[in-house]
Each structure stands twice: as structure tokens, then as C-alpha cells.
Amino acid sequence: MAIPCPPFIGSEKLSIESGAMSPSSPSPLILTQDELKKIAAYKAVEFVQSGMVLGLGTGSTAKHAVDRIADLLHQGKLKNIVGIPTSTKTHKQAVSLGIPLSDLNSHPVVDLAIDGADEVDSNLNLVKGRGGSLLREKMIESACKKFIVIVDESKLVAHVGASGAMPVEVVPFCWKFTQDRLQNLFDYAGCLAKLRTDNGGEKIFVTDNGNYIVDLFFKKDIGDLKVASDAILRLAGVVEHGMFLDMATTVIVADRTSDPVRLYWRLVVTLASLDPQLLRRLLKMFMGLYSVIGLKKSLQYGHPEGPTDLKERKQSSQKHPQDSEHDMVE
């Protein structure tokens, strides 16, 4: 179920690599879902700068971003880039494109990661891992200074788990025991836990780390996501889950509008993505404004501002009892 894009700042018409069409064009361009993904990915790569350590995401949307980074490297528009892939699949793609690679052992701090998501809610919480790479994705993207999420409009949801599975990576040992505990944990949300299989159910899906994935399907909203996250991680046998909470600093959404020719990128910025000095200035300005508003209200309505003002008001009432009586009548 798709919902309108979360609150955003910034709206810009995008063109397509093969050439943009004007709104008055007689033959409107109908964009496929993959083309929408490509537009979001290309917009995200505009944030990449030479010399960066990059987290390279996994999936159909992130693939476009990796391709674009390689193109810019070969054109000489980007230099000294180091990529850290979030899966063996992305590793193979990056190697084939000639992108220099490393890992978190050598580069424990990542400047920027670009990746897709299976779901994005209005608070920028994500569901990832339906492609099976959630553990490496979370390790790398939690080490990032900035994490840009690229999606098309179909990934926007009312709440986590609204459009499908919320994956949980578990160890193979006694996986059925862990699966049952996960299902019981969310019984209140009508949870159905299913072991992920491959090749039409012929064999169990195995992650890059040799683990299994239990997909959780919810009939209802699971409520407080941090509480749910902690409860899952407390279960022995669980390695990691696919909820990425408070991690995305920016979300770029490519969507269709009422005019099928026009496409807008939507940039959702959280406080975490702001420059610290700018954030301090904004907070200082806000506190100053709050103080002024409070002072004006005090002067207008005679509200005491503190113990000293209350004492003075009491003394004034004692000196002018007739005024005090008048105040009581009012």
C-alpha cells in the first residue's frame, strides 16, 4: 500500500538521461518502475564527492547507483573513490566495473552510503533485507556519516510491515525454534513467520554469512518499533532484523505526478543530516524566539515568570486590596 511521500524540502524537475520531454509534448513519456529507480539513484550519486569512502548498496535500485559511480570514475569526474559493498552480489558488480574496494576493517568510518529500501515510513524508518543482505547492509550503513535511501513511490508505506515481509536473519541451528518464538512474540499483530526458501521452495535460502532468514508478515501495525527491535534482538538465535530505525539521513523518492511527464525528487532531511554548527544556530534562534514569545505572553496576560515575580505580585496585592478583589471578580 503506497502513501503520499513524507514531509520533504526541495522539489526539482528531473530529466532522463536519454533526454527530457517538455510538459507540452504531444507524446507523454510513460516511465517504468525501473526508470523511476534509475532517476532516484542518479540523483543520489550527485552527493558523491572525490575522495569519499562509499557504502555500495544492494538491490535493483542501488545497482543503478553503482553503475553511475563507475561511469563518473571512468569519465574522470570522480577520483580516489573507495567502495565498501554490502553483499557479494554488489562486490561482483563493483569489481566488474573497476571500482576500488575495501572493507570496514580498513575503513571503519564511511562517508556516504547509497542504498534502496523495501519500505519507508513517514519517520524515515526502513524495512530492508528482502533481497537477503540485511546484516552487511546494517553494519556498513550504521558506520556512515550520511545514509541516502533511494526508492520509487511504491516503497512508501503507512507503517513498517505494511507491504510485505520484515526479514530476520537467524542462525541455522534450531531455526524452527527461533521461528516459533518470533511468531509468538508478535502474536498480537497477527504475525506469520515463514522460513525463506529458494528455487521455488526446493531449498532453504542462505545469506552471504551462512545464515537463514525468517520473514515476518504482520496483519496489524506492530506499534513501537524500538520496543519491537529490542524484543527481537533479545531472542537467542537471532542475528539481526531488517528494521533500520533512525538511520536514514536523506530519502530520495522518484514518483509519478498528475502530469506523467513531470517527475520530482523529494529530499527528506532529518536533524541528523544538518551541519552541527547550523543546528546549534537554529536551536539558539528557536530558544531566543521561544523566550520572546514567553515574555510577550507574560506582559499581555500577567503570568508570573518565576518565584520573584510571584512574590512581587503578592506584595502588590497586599498594598492594593481593592485591585486584588477586582482581579478575583474578573
Cβ(90)–Cβ(57) below 8 Å: yes
Residue 208, SS3 per DSSP? coil
Q: Within 10 A of 38 (CB to CB), how many other CB atoms are there? A: 24
- The CA distance from 24 to 286, in Å, is 44
Give the cell for residue 51.
Answer: 575522495
Residue 262 φ then ψ, to 5°: -90, 135
Half-sphere exposure at residue 178, Cβ-oriented, CA atoms within 13 angstroms: 26
To the query of whether residue 17 is one of the catalytic residues in this protein, the response is: no
The rounded Cα 277 to chain-centroid distance in angstroms is 23
Catalytic residue among 35, 46, 119, 137: 137
Q: Within 10 A of 139 (CB to CB), how many other CB atoms are there? A: 14
* Sign of torsion over alpha carbons 98, 103, 108, 114: positive
- The CA distance from 82 to 255, in Å, is 31
- The CA distance from 72 to 50, in Å, is 10
* Sign of torsion over alpha carbons 177, 182, 185, 189: negative
Residue 199, SS3 per DSSP? coil
Q: Can you spell out the DSSP letters for 96-139?
A: HHT--B--TTT--SEEEEEE--SEE-TT--EE--TTS-HHHHHH
**b vs e for 78-103, b when ≥16 Cβ sit within 10 Å of the residue's Cβ?**
beebbbbbbbebbbebbeeeebebee
Cβ(82)–Cβ(54) below 8 Å: yes
List active site positions.
Answer: 137
